[in-house]
Chains A and B, each alone.
Chain A
Amino acid sequence: MQDNILQFNNISRTFDDGFTVVDDFNLSIKRGEFVTFLGPSGCGKTTTLRMLAGFDLPTTGEILLDGKNITDLPANERPINTVFQRYALFPHLNIYDNIAFGLKLKKIKKSEIDKKVKKALEMVDLEGFENRKVQTLSGGQQQRIAIARAIVNEPEILLLDEPLGALDLKMRKEMQLELKSMHEKLGITFIYVTHDQEEALTMSDKIVVMSEGKIQQIGTPEDIYNEPKNAFVADFIGESNIFNGIMTGKYKVRFCGAEFECVDDVPDGTMIDAVIRPEDVIITTPEKGTIQGEVISVIFKGVHYEITVLSGKNEIVIQTTKKSEVGEKVGLCVEPDGIHIMIAENTINKFESAIDSNYKLAFLDGQLECDVTKVLTNCKKNEDGVLVDEHGDEIEIDKVKIIVSVKPEDIEMSDDADAGIVQGNIINLIYKGDHYSYVVRTEDEHDFIVDDEDLWNMDDFISLIIPQDKISYSLKK
C-alpha cells in the first residue's frame, strides 16, 4: 500500500517480570487517518502508544515512520507529539510558556512563536489565556491546552492517550466532536487510545481492537460493529447476544434450539458463535416467532426498552421501542442479516508440555497422570523402566512434546483454593446465552477457557477442578 505513514512490524513488548503486554503487533496506518486503539485496561494499547512516542522500547520488532526505522530513536527526535492522559502540563510555567515549550527548543524567532501560540489557542477556543497559570484552569481547559501544546509543533502524528478520560460525560461528548473537526482541519494523522467503545465508534476512521496484547480486529467502525471477528470484539463493542451454535446447512444455523437463516456462508457442521445485536431481535406473537420465551425483565432506557426474554435456558436481550410486560409469552425472530456468524475459536484447551526423566508431564508441576506409553505409539518400558521404541532403542525424552487437551465444559470452578489442581484469576468473561465463557489465567501464565453456568466476577481468584479422565493426551507432531 502506498502512502503509509506508519508501519508496525512484529512489535512485541515483554516486561522484566516476563509478562508480555504487546504480542506480535502488526499494523500500517495511512497518512491523515484517525486510528483508535480500543481495548480494556491492560490490553497493551497504551504500551503500544508509548513505544510509538519513544517512551518505551519494543522487545522485538520495528516501527517505521515514512519507511525509516524509528524504533530506537529517542522521543525528542521524533516528529510525533503526545496529548497525555493526565494532561502533564508544566505547573511552573504559564500557559504561553507551556505551549511555546517545544517551539522555544527549536530556536524559532520570538515573533513567530507568539503568532503560533496565538493560533494554537484560537484552535482550542482559549484566546487570551497566555498569562494564566495552569492551576487556575478547569480540567477541560487544561485538556485543551495540552492539545494546543502538542499541535503547535505541527507534528506528523498526534498521539492521544485517553485524553478525555478525566472529563465529565457532557464535556467528553463535546470534545469528541471538536477533536474530530480538529483532525479534519489539521489533516495530520491522529492515533487515539481509549477503552470507551462509543468514543472509538464516534471518532475513528479505523479501529484497532486489542485484548491481552493482541490485535483482535482492525476495521472501520461499521465493520467492527456489524461484523465482529470473534466473541471478544462482539462483546466489547456494544451490547450483544452471543450463542454457541452449529451450521446445519447452506445459510442455515442452529442455536437456542431452533434453526435460523443467516447470510454467512460457513460449511455445514461448523461450530460457531452467533452474534445478534439487541436491536436486531424482533418481538412478535409466540406463533410467529422462530423461538418462544417469557419476558423476565423490562427496563426503560429513554429511547428504548431493554427487554430480557428467557427461552429455554437462553437469555436474550432485546432493545425495542415497544413495551412488553414481565411474564408475557412472546415469540422472537431475527432477520437473516441480523445474525452474524463467527467461527468458534478456542473451543478446546490445548497445552504443550515436555516430559521429565520420570516420564511425568512438566505441565502443572507433574500433577497429571499421563501414561506416556499410550501416547507414544509402538513403545514400552523395558526392564530398567526406560522407555524404548519398537527396536528397543531408548527414546530421547526431551525431544518429545505432549499436547494436553481438555474441553471447557469439563472444567469446574471452585472458590476453595485446594479443591482443584490449579489456581488462577478470571481475566475475561463473555456471556453466551445459557452459560458464561471464562478465561482463567494461572500463576504460571497458562490461559484456561472454562464454561460455567454460574456468574463469577472479573479478577476472582478461583481453583480449577479438572477430572483426570476428561483430559486427553496426544503427541505433538
Chain B
Amino acid sequence: MKGLKFTRKQLCIPYLLFLLCFVALPLLVVIYYAFTNGDGQFTIKNFINFFTSPNTLGTLFYSFSIAIATTIVCLLLAYPIAYILARSKMKQKMVLVFMFVLPMWINFTLRITALKEILTLIEGNLAYYPFLNSIIGMTYDFLPFMILPMYTTLLKLDNSLLEAASDLGANSVQVFLKITLPLSVPGIISGVVMVFLPSMTNYVVLDMLYNSTYIMGSFIGSYFSAYDWHNGSMISLVLLAIIAIITLMTSKYTDENESRGGSLL
C-alpha cells in the first residue's frame, strides 16, 4: 500500500472541485447576470431597479415581517417547551422530545397539505388571512429547529450554577432571569438563526398554502420564469448580501457565547 499516501492538500481536491462547481461558479454567474443587461453589457440598472421598485421593496419588507413574526412566535412557543423538556425530572422526557421531532420525519409536502386542509376547514378561504396563515405554516414547519438548539443548551446548563444562585439568595424567578436565561442565549441565537434565515426565503410553504407569490423566494422565481434573469439575479444577490450580513452579526455573538459556555464544562 506504499505510495497510496495522500497529503492533506491532495485530500482537499475533491472538495475544492465541488466548491468550484457548485458554489463559486454559480455565484459568479449570478453576479454576471446581475450586472449585465439583455445585450451582455455592464449595467447597474438592475441594482437601481431593486431599490426603486415599490413591488420589490414591498415584497422584501413583507418577507422580513413574516420571518420576524415567525421567529418570535417560534421563540415564545419553543422556549417553555425546551425548558420543560430539559429541566424536568420526567422519566418520559425522551418520548416528549420525540413527539416534537417526529413531524420532521414525515414528508414535508404531506405535512403542509394536511395543515392546509385543517386551516381551510377553520377559516374557509385561506386567502382571507395571508399573513396569519404564512406564520402558522412556517411556525409549524420550523418549530423543531428552534426547540432543539435551546433544548441542548438548557440540558448542558450546570445545575450547580442554579443552586449557587439560590444559595446566594435568589428566589426561583431571580434564578431564571439572572442565570438560566442569560446562559441559554447561545441556544436562543442559534435557534433564531435557524428559523429566521429559512423563513426569509422559504416560499414552498406559502406556495402550497395559497399560491402566494408575494414573498422573496417566489418573487425571484417569478422573474426567472419570465426569463428576466438579470433582475432576478440582482434580487437574489441583494438577498444573499442581507443574509450574509445577518449571519456574520449573529455568528460573532454566538461564538463569543459558546466560548463562555465552554468554560462551564
B168 touches A149 (CB 8 A): yes
Tell me if A101 counts as interface (CB < 8 A to partner B). yes
Contacts known (A55-B163, A81-B167, A105-B170); A88 close to B259, Cβ less than 8 A: no
Q: List A contacts of B166 (CB < 8 A).
A: 54-55, 74-76
Tell me if A204 counts as interface (CB < 8 A to partner B). no
CA distance A106 to B158 in the complex (A): 24
Tell me if B246 counts as interface (CB < 8 A to partner A). no
Tell me if B171 counts as interface (CB < 8 A to partner A). yes
Within 8 Å by CB of B164, from A84, A134, A135, lies A84
Within 8 Å by CB of A91, from B168, B169, B171, B260, lies B260
Tell me if B165 counts as interface (CB < 8 A to partner A). yes
A102 touches B168 (CB 8 A): yes
B161 touches A90 (CB 8 A): yes
List residues 133-156 of chain A with CB under 8 A from any CB of chain B: 134-135, 149-150, 153
Beta-carbon contacts of A74-101 to B below 8 Å, as 1s and 0s?
Answer: 1111001110111011111000000001
CA distance A102 to B165 in the complex (A): 8
A75 touches B182 (CB 8 A): no
How would you classify the secondary structure of chain A's contact residues: helix, strand, loop or mixed?
mixed
Tell me if A413 counts as interface (CB < 8 A to partner B). no
Number of B residues contacting the other chain (C-beta, 8 Å)? 24
Q: List B contacts of A88 (CB < 8 A).
A: 158, 160-161, 163-164
- Min CB–CB distance A361 → chain B (angstroms): 35
Contacts known (A88-B158, A135-B260); A101 close to B163, Cβ less than 8 A: no
Tell me if B264 counts as interface (CB < 8 A to partner A). yes
Q: List A contacts of B158 (CB < 8 A).
A: 86, 88
Q: List A contacts of B185 (CB < 8 A).
A: 92
Tell me if B261 counts as interface (CB < 8 A to partner A). yes
Beta-carbon contacts of B177-213 to A below 8 Å, as 1s and 0s?
Answer: 0110011010000000000000000000000000000
Tell me if B263 counts as interface (CB < 8 A to partner A). yes
Within 8 Å by CB of B169, from A53, A86, A102, lies A102
Within 8 Å by CB of A105, from B161, B168, B259, B260, lies B168
Contacts known (A90-B179, A135-B259); A101 close to B168, Cβ less than 8 A: yes
Contacts known (A91-B264, A92-B260); A153 close to B183, Cβ less than 8 A: no
CA distance A74 to B171 in the complex (A): 9
- Min CB–CB distance A99 → chain B (angstroms): 10
CA distance A91 to B164 in the complex (A): 12
B169 touches A105 (CB 8 A): yes
Q: List A contacts of B259 (CB < 8 A).
A: 135
- Min CB–CB distance B82 → chain A (angstroms): 18
How would you classify the secondary structure of chain B's contact residues: helix, strand, loop or mixed?
helix
CA distance A106 to B168 in the complex (A): 10
Tell me if B49 counts as interface (CB < 8 A to partner A). no
With both beta carbons as reference points, the residue of chain B lying nearest to A86 in the complex is identified as B160
CA distance A153 to B178 in the complex (A): 18
A92 touches B170 (CB 8 A): no
CA distance A91 to B179 in the complex (A): 9
B167 touches A82 (CB 8 A): yes
Interface centre among B166, B259, B260 (most CB of A within 10 A): B166
B160 touches A84 (CB 8 A): yes
Interface centre among B183, B185, B259, B264 (most CB of A within 10 A): B264
B169 touches A76 (CB 8 A): yes
Within 8 Å by CB of B263, from A53, A54, A134, A153, lies A134
Q: List A contacts of B167 (CB < 8 A).
A: 53-55, 75-76, 80-82, 150
With both beta carbons as reference points, the residue of chain A lying nearest to B163 in the complex is identified as A55
Q: List A contacts of B262 (CB < 8 A).
A: 135
List residues 253-271 of chain A with CB under 8 A from any CB of chain B: none
Q: List B contacts of A105 (CB < 8 A).
A: 168-170, 174
- Min CB–CB distance B176 → chain A (angstroms): 13
B160 touches A76 (CB 8 A): no
A101 touches B183 (CB 8 A): no
CA distance A96 to B179 in the complex (A): 16
Interface centre among B167, B174, B178, B260 (most CB of A within 10 A): B167
CA distance A102 to B166 in the complex (A): 9
- Min CB–CB distance A132 → chain B (angstroms): 13
Beta-carbon contacts of A45-64 to B below 8 Å, as 1s and 0s?
Answer: 00000000111000000000
Sample of 16 further A-B pairs with CB below 8 A, known A89-B164, A153-B169: A54-B167, A75-B166, A76-B168, A76-B170, A82-B164, A84-B160, A84-B164, A86-B158, A86-B160, A88-B158, A90-B161, A101-B168, A105-B170, A105-B174, A134-B263, A150-B167
The residues of B with any CB-CB pair to A shorter than 8 Å are 158, 160-161, 163-171, 174, 178-179, 182-183, 185, 259-264
Q: List 14 A-B contacts (CB under 8 A).
A: A53-B163, A53-B167, A55-B163, A55-B167, A76-B170, A82-B163, A84-B160, A84-B164, A86-B160, A88-B163, A91-B183, A91-B264, A92-B260, A135-B259
A-B complex: 5 closest residue pairs judged by Cβ atoms? A135-B263, A102-B168, A88-B164, A88-B160, A75-B166
